[in-house]
């Protein structure tokens, strides 16, 4: 097992296994759902869709066969909190899935685990069999008559875009992981055409905490639109990288002080798909309504070349683009070419503006989140670091 790097005590460590599930099963499904609703919990994968709304729609969808899918395809650069949760608090994740199944009326659960985390699988299988022995999974799960639910683990095969929920479902069905057009949404037309909820690892764990400690407790942290605590994966140029838990709404400056990265010149919030926030804006809050993140915080020190960063992220997107839609497939290489021009000091201001306009086209015209977010970092760097990136003297090797 990999040494975890959690800093400070996490809420997850204070929740006794079984407490959340018992609390949920004592209520009718609709009441359990109301608890989640009043907590204001939003998806912890980064998109921030209200969890209770997703579950409510799936619960109302007609169908006898429904699915609960846990998105453990944590591929966003700079994110590793799901790995830490799966390693240390797998019980909470499975318990959250069980509560989800109870609420929407599902019999089957699937954990879609990324291929890069194959080494976690034996541990997860062991936890699953223990939970079956304890009667928390299987026929009459959690001692509730008529509630049958079990979970299996499916492995990914190395694809970033499969973290997008419809691509993930395609992959589970044995297809290329290409995102689907939405609507229809997975809540009524998901895995094998059945109503399906897909939630992030961390979201499921928080559901258990809400059940155990109550929605009021959860809501007492965070902001009005972004309630509760959130795990952050912090890496890059700081003295104490690792997994942290803070209330949403924390400012970037406050977070940097905690992790020992106050000298940073910029911070990448939300991974490759997020945005690059310059020092002047460190007063901004990390929350769905300001700078959203699935947990990824990468700190850039003063010595870092912003063009290298843009280059790295664009190469990443070119590699991971599924190639299905034109803006993403053709646009990202064009942006990378632009970065190379800037590196050689051969880019005019007019052309840089053209590139930015291309980036904005990608944001609106791409089919899925990958293409829509691919130009983000390039655009923030082109906006905030013009002095650094224009008029360079080419470096001779």
**Which residues form the interface with other proteins (CB under 8 A)?**
2, 5, 74-80, 82-83, 114-119, 154-160, 171-178, 192, 233-237, 241-243, 268, 272, 296, 298, 300, 304, 308-309, 312-313, 315-316, 319-320, 322
Contact 112, 71 (CB under 8 A): yes
For residues 174 and 184, what is the distance between their CA atoms, to the nearest angstrom?
19
Closer residue to other proteins in complex, CB, 97/168 = 168
* Sheet strand arrangement including 296-300: 242-247, 229-236, 296-300, 266-269, 275-278
For residues 108 and 63, what is the distance between their CA atoms, to the nearest angstrom?
13
Joined tokens for residue 165:
């929920």
3-state secondary structure of 69: strand
Residue 359 preceded by cis peptide, ω within 30: no
CB of 5 to other proteins, least distance (A): 5
Residue ranges in 26-80 assigned as alpha helix (H): 29-39, 51-60
CB of 353 to other proteins, least distance (A): 26
Closer residue to other proteins in complex, CB, 135/158 = 158
Q: Which residue has the tokens 């290409």?
A: 178
Residue ranges in 14-120 assigned as alpha helix (H): 19-25, 29-39, 51-60, 81-88, 90-104
Q: 34: which residues sit within 8 A by CB, 6+ positions away? A: 52
Closer residue to other proteins in complex, CB, 10/41 = 10
CB of 234 to other proteins, least distance (A): 7
CB of 112 to other proteins, least distance (A): 11
Closer residue to other proteins in complex, CB, 39/296 = 296
Closer residue to other proteins in complex, CB, 257/289 = 257
Q: 271: which residues sit within 8 A by CB, 6+ positions away? A: 46, 76, 77, 78, 79, 293, 294, 296, 298
Closer residue to other proteins in complex, CB, 35/44 = 44
CB of 201 to other proteins, least distance (A): 12
For residues 110 and 101, what is the distance between their CA atoms, to the nearest angstrom?
11
First and final C-alpha spacing in the chain: 42
Closer residue to other proteins in complex, CB, 19/258 = 258
Closer residue to other proteins in complex, CB, 90/322 = 322
Residue 46 is given by DSSP the state: T
CB of 40 to other proteins, least distance (A): 28
CB of 209 to other proteins, least distance (A): 23
CB of 241 to other proteins, least distance (A): 4
**Cβ atoms within 10 Å of 142's Cβ, excluding its own:** 22
Joined tokens for residue 327:
């803006």
Closer residue to other proteins in complex, CB, 25/72 = 72
Q: Crossing angle for the helix pair 326-343 and 349-365, nearest 10 degrees?
A: 160
Q: Are strands 229-236 and 296-300 parallel, antiparallel or unpaired?
A: parallel
**Cβ atoms within 10 Å of 326's Cβ, excluding its own:** 12
CB of 74 to other proteins, least distance (A): 6
Helix (H) or strand (E) holding 352: helix 349-365
CB of 13 to other proteins, least distance (A): 19
Closer residue to other proteins in complex, CB, 143/158 = 158
């Amino acid at each position: 097992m990999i040494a975890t790097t959690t800093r400070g005590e996490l809420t997850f460590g204070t929740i006794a296994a079984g407490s959340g599930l018992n609390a949920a099963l004592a209520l009718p499904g609709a009441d359990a759902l109301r608890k989640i609703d009043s907590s204001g919990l939003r998806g912890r994968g980064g998109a921030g869709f209200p969890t209770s709304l997703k579950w409510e729609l799936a619960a109302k969808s007609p169908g006898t066969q429904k699915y609960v899918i846990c998105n453990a395809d944590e591929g966003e650069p700079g994110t590793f909190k799901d790995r830490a949760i799966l390693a240390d608090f797998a019980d909470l994740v499975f318990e959250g899935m069980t509560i989800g199944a109870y609420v929407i009326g599902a019999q089957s659960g699937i954990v879609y685990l990324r291929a890069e985390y194959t080494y976690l699988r034996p541990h997860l299988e062991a936890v699953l069999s223990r939970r079956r022995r304890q009667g928390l999974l299987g026929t009459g799960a959690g001692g509730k008559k008529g509630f049958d639910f079990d979970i299996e683990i499916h492995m990914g095969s190395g694809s970033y875009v499969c973290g997008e929920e419809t691509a993930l479902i395609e992959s589970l069905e044995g297809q290329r992981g290409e995102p689907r057009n939405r609507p229809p949404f997975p809540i009524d037309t998901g895995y094998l055409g059945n109503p399906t909820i897909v939630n992030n690892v961390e979201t499921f764990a928080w559901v258990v905490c809400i059940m155990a400690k109550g929605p009021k407790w959860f809501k007492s942290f965070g902001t009005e639109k972004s309630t509760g605590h959130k795990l952050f994966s912090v890496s890059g140029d700081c003295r104490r990288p690792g997994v942290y838990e803070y209330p949403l709404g924390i400012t970037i400056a406050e977070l940097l002080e905690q992790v020992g990265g106050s000298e940073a010149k910029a911070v990448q919030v939300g991974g490759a798909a997020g945005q690059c926030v310059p020092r002047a804006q460190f007063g901004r809050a990390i929350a769905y309504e300001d700078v959203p993140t699935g947990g990824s915080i990468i700190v850039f020190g003063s010595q870092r070349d912003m063009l290298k960063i843009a280059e790295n992220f664009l190469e990443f997107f070119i590699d991971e683009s599924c190639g299905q839609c034109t803006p993403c497939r053709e646009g990202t290489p064009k942006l990378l070419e632009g970065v190379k021009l800037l590196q050689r000091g051969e880019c005019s201001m007019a052309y840089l503006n053209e590139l930015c306009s291309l980036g904005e086209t990608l944001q609106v015209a791409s089919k899925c989140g990958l293409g829509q977010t691919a130009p983000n970092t390039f655009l923030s760097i082109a906006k905030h670091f013009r002095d650094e990136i224009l008029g360079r003297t080419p470096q001779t090797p």
